Amino acid sequence: MNITVEEIPPSVLKEQGPPLFERHYQELRNGRNLRVSPAYALYDNLTATGALHCIGAFGDGQLIGYSVNLYMPRHMHYNYSYVQNDVLFVDKEYRNTSVGGRLIKATRRLAEKLGVDQIMWHCKEGTQLHRMLDHSDRHTLADLVYTEEI
How much is the average pLDDT of 13-25? 91
Cα of first residue to Cα of last residue in the chain, in angstroms, is: 45
Is 27 inside any structural domain? yes
Please check the confidence at residue 1 and state whether its pLDDT lies above 70. yes
Q: Which domain holds residue 118?
A: 3-134
Domains identified in the chain, total number? 1
In a domain, 147, yes or no: no
Kindly state whether residue 22 falls inside one of the protein's structural domains: yes
Residue 50, sorted as left (phi over 0), alpha (psi -120 to 50) or beta, turns out to be left
Closest by Cα among 99, 74, 70 to 87: 70
Q: What is the CATH number of the domain that holds 74?
A: 3.40.630.30
**Closest to 57 in 3D by CA, of 87, 82, 25, 27:** 87
> For residue 77, is it within any domain?
yes
Other CB atoms closer than 10 Å to residue 139's CB: what's the count?
Answer: 13
Domain membership flag for residue 35: yes
The answer to whether residue 150 sits within a structural domain is: no
pLDDT digits (tens, 9 = 90+) for 30-44: 666 777 788 999 999
Asked whether residue 140 is assigned to any structural domain, the reply reads no
C-alpha dist (Å) from residue 8 to 11, 28, 32, 67, 91: 8, 24, 29, 10, 18
Could you tell me if residue 139 is inside a domain? Answer: no
Q: Please state the pTM of the whole predicted model.
A: 0.90
